Copies of this chain bind each other. A is one copy, B any other.
């Protein structure tokens, strides 16, 4: 181990192993996680070595190989999809695997299909006698599902639906696993019966032959080409030309077309929201927080090893982690990674409680859950994406090399701001809930717990008198609460004013959306700070963990005030003099947390293989590793044909003869 990294570990103020276990939810979980990750990483099929050198075609092939091998592996190891190991498998393969849409295919049949449909399709899918995908998004439509243009017309003479892509913008576009792998997909289309449109419905459509994988009649499908990342996934396009599927292929738990064309709707569709909610919550941890934790691990370890310029004249060059500006880049990201890990726990609990209620046919928690999952999906993915980018830039030139692992973390996480609901649209959904709740609260109606604070909103002043007061969770949590309530109430007031002055409701809404999105972010920021403070409060003081977590919580909170000073100063709740105290305490904290920065990322417990970074390895031998890895690049495996073709004639001055 590089001595510059070893020395950082000797002075940890807490037990790294205990913090790891606490983050995992207990030492038993840690043991299980390590066992799963170890088993996967020891298997050469799952190796990610050379990944940064691979083409899109090679990445796809490797992802399919891994997905197929994983079935075998799980059988071998006695792991099941529902078992406790499953959440660690995804972490271990680092997302680099095919057939993730196959699961969505199965889930949509389980949720939207009748018992008969489930009995027919789920066994086929579980045994991989078909490969499924999920064809919702079109070239011309993403988030606005009602606008989808694919049609499914019922033909009562043959008892079939005829599916069509009426124009180019109606082509299915982006579905994963569809470009090259899938044999079947769930197509969302506008249902027409006897000329009447009944809106969007799901249909199971076979797209490729089970015998030779050739495209079925009427199907045009392929790969949508290169993307910023996800080279391993065959995101596809699909055009349907008079494709006929039997009546039984419309998923009909909630609605059915009877043989004579009678359309029947049954049951509640609210459960659909619940599916989206569950997906949004589950991606927060795997697709946003984990990548940020990895980026922090890489950047902080590298910053303890990289020495550059002199901090004190006459001494050796300083570790870049000792510069205040470097601390100010990285340590708030580290604090955010912890903050969002805890908010994920909070959301999971809320979700589990909501799920139990729904099983009892009580849908009351749905609006709050929908608002929180939308708002947190948007704010956490946005924050973590910025955080990963900051980590990348903080590593200077070497961060820009793919071998650092940071570019691929960044190009992947940025997609999380777009998929499963574009972030701005999600924030506005949260805002709609907040405005509604504010209106209810101000007329004395009861509101869900997460927005109960809106009832108490009134002008106040922050009581802090010196910089140490700002290390009190009560002080800063209240500042966040006040600020969020003010943004929500003032935007709600603007909306009301516009409507009362004669502006049409939809125009008024549009004219408030910039501020509504800001209010929704403020609400989530407040809840994150509050939840972090409450989490710290609950830790039984063991091995210094509570102390360091308290520092991180303070840092997260004060960084937020420092970086968004305007919204706290605006109505004078925080004064300019108090803002100087915030700044002072914030900068003090950087120097304190810096001492534990390496142990704090060690506690995330990523293996070198899972980081796949020449800069971030546990041993800190960054330069050796960069050199070793670079030599393996295909650009060093061959003399480029460019020499004989262009360089030699140029240098030998024979170009004119060409």
Contacts and interface: CB of A to CB of B under 8 A. Distances in A.
Interface of A: 52-53, 55-57, 60-61, 64-65, 68, 71-72, 127-131, 137, 139-144, 147, 168-169, 171, 173-174, 179-181, 183, 210, 213, 222-228, 234, 237, 306-309, 311-313, 317, 322-326, 328-329, 389, 392-393, 396-397, 399-403, 407, 411, 414-415, 417-419, 422-424, 428, 504, 506-507, 510-515, 517, 564-572, 576, 579, 583, 587, 623-624, 626-627, 629-636, 638-643, 645-651, 653, 655
Contact of A633 (B127, B137, B183, B226): B226
Q: Lowest 10 CB-CB distances: which A-B pairs, in order?
A: A565-B566, A225-B633, A223-B635, A144-B309, A228-B407, A566-B566, A226-B402, A569-B569, A64-B642, A225-B630
A40 to B, nearest CB: 18
A328 B514 contact: yes
A580 B470 CA distance: 27
B309 A627 contact: no
Contacts of A223: 630, 633, 635-636
A635 B139 contact: no
Given A400-B414, A630-B222, A510 B565 contact: no
Nearest to A564: B566
How many monomers of this chain does the complex have? 2
A168 B628 CA distance: 11
A318 to B, nearest CB: 9
Given A61-B640, A517-B325, A569-B570, A225 B506 contact: no
Given A569-B569, A634-B56, A647-B64, A168 B237 contact: no
Contact of A225 (B52, B237, B328, B507): B52
Contacts of A130: 651
B181 A647 contact: yes
Nearest to A127: B653
Contact of A510 (B323, B400, B649): B323
Given A128-B653, A569-B576, 6 more contacts: A147-B309, A168-B627, A180-B642, A181-B647, A224-B633, A311-B506
A567 B397 CA distance: 31
A308 B142 contact: yes
14 contacts: A60-B640, A68-B646, A140-B623, A142-B308, A171-B627, A213-B639, A222-B631, A223-B633, A224-B633, A227-B401, A228-B400, A311-B510, A389-B389, A566-B579
Contacts of A567: 565
Contacts of A415: 400
Given A226-B53, A627-B168, A642 B511 contact: no
A227 B405 CA distance: 10
B428 A142 contact: no
Contacts of A564: 566
B227 A400 contact: yes
B571 A576 contact: yes
Contacts of A424: 325-326, 329
A542 to B, nearest CB: 33
Given A309-B144, A411-B407, A418 B401 contact: no
A234 B635 contact: yes
Contact of A572 (B227, B328, B576, B587): B576
Q: Which of A55, A514, A570 has the most CB of B within 10 A?
A: A514
A128 B643 CA distance: 14
Contact of A224 (B393, B401, B414): B401
Contacts of A324: 510-514
A308 B569 CA distance: 37
A464 B635 CA distance: 61
A368 B303 CA distance: 32
Contacts of A565: 565-567, 569-570
A396 B418 contact: yes
A168 B130 CA distance: 52
Contact of A642 (B60, B143, B237): B60
B139 A623 contact: yes
A638 B57 CA distance: 9
B403 A635 contact: no
A180 B566 contact: no
A281 B515 CA distance: 37
A513 B323 contact: yes
Contacts of A566: 564-566, 568-569, 579
Given A68-B650, A137-B397, A587-B514, A237 B627 contact: yes
Given A61-B642, A142-B308, A397-B142, A179 B576 contact: no
Contacts of A226: 52-53, 401-403, 633, 635
A317 B129 CA distance: 41
Given A225-B633, A579-B566, A65 B645 contact: yes
Q: Which of A128, A583, A627 has the most CB of B within 10 A?
A: A627
Contact of A65 (B68, B624, B646): B646
A95 to B, nearest CB: 16
Contact of A55 (B55, B402, B511): B55
